[in-house]
Amino acid sequence: MNSNSQCSFEWKVSQRKHTQDDPGEPRHSSLRLGVLISGSGSNLQALIDAIEAKQLPGVEIALVVSNNAHAQGVQRALKHNVPVIYMPWEQKLAGAHISAPSKGELSHSETKLTSLLHLFQVNLIVLAGWMRILSAPFLEQFPRQVINLHPALLPNDGTGPIYTTRDGTRIPVFRGLHAVRQALQAGVKVTGSTVHYVTPEVDAGPVICRAELPIEPGDTEESLHERLKKVEHRLIVEAIRICGKQPYVK
Ligand code: GRF
């Protein structure tokens, strides 16, 4: 046993495609979410509430993973008997416009995460305030099965520096960390939130759904983010409904 390991258990990535029928194992036909969090988990709570209120038939949260043991979202999951795992993550999201690592291998943390997602038969991975980068090799294992909630407006295909609001105003696209602060500092009148498919480039994948929100005079980063989160709590539920209709998550 080396100094980093606490047991001799070896994490291995299953080569089995989790979209295939596997005789001998129960196969779930529902949409099984793996929700990845790092903090307060209010969007996780919105999903829990929608499922408990039967607003998302056929959807269940198979697993919550947090890279932060003290995240409020962990307690939210426990309170609602949703399986939750704390998984320390070695690699940090270091800057506002950092690109995902492009080397051909999964990191140690990603290998563990992959095993867990297969074990819990997750077929849609939801990044809900997950503050870690997932590499291209990790994402390739789950094509169009990883979605992210971003507190700014992204154009339809996710790429490019400009977003055109519903009233035709062209505003910069704010990606990466502190997107709410970036919008305030840029002095734009409208911001919003977007749910998009995750691609290796950060906050640049095709949009699933999005909502605009006016910035009010006197807004601070905190007040604006609080209002945005209320919008997000509807948006994330809508995104799950849309994804549930796609063939590749079955
Ligand atoms: C949300 O604003 C989301 O857009 C961003 O992180 C925040 C997570 O909030 N990626 P919560 O943990 O769900 O309350």
Q: How many CB atoms lie within 10 A of CB 83?
A: 14
* pLDDT surpasses 70 at 49: yes
Between the CA of 179 and the centroid of ligand 1 the distance, in Å, is 11
Mean pLDDT over 131-137 rounds to 95
For 161, phi then psi, to 5°, come to -95, -5
Q: What is the mean pLDDT of the chain?
A: 88
Which of 232, 234, 236 to probe ligand 1 with, by most ligand atoms within 8 A of CB? 232
Round to whole Å and give the CA distance between 206 and 248: 15
- Return the amino acid letter for 243: C
Ligand 1: atom nearest CA of 229 is 2
Between the CA of 236 and the centroid of ligand 1 the distance, in Å, is 10
Ligand 1, atom 10: closest residue by C-alpha: 129
Active site residue 196: no
Mean pLDDT over 139-156 rounds to 97
Between the CA of 93 and the centroid of ligand 1 the distance, in Å, is 15
Q: Please state, for a pLDDT cut of 90, what percent of the chain lies above it.
A: 80
Round to whole Å and give the CA distance between 5 and 96: 32
* pLDDT surpasses 70 at 151: yes
Task: Tell me what pLDDT residue 90 has.
Answer: 81
The response to whether residue 151 sits with its C-beta less than 6 Å from ligand 1 reads yes
Ligand 1: atom nearest CA of 148 is 10
Under the banding of pLDDT at 50, 70 and 90, the label for residue 201 is: very high
Round to whole Å and give the CA distance between 221 and 58: 36
Task: Tell me what pLDDT residue 18 has.
Answer: 43
Which residue has tokens 């867990």?
Answer: 116
Ligand 1, atom 9: closest residue by C-alpha: 129
> What is the rounded radius of gyration, in angstroms, for the C-alpha atoms of the chain?
18
Under the banding of pLDDT at 50, 70 and 90, the label for residue 248 is: low
- Residues 51-100: tens digit of each pLDDT: 999 999 999 999 999 999 999 999 999 999 999 999 999 865 444 344 45
- Residues 108-123: tens digit of each pLDDT: 999 999 999 999 999 9
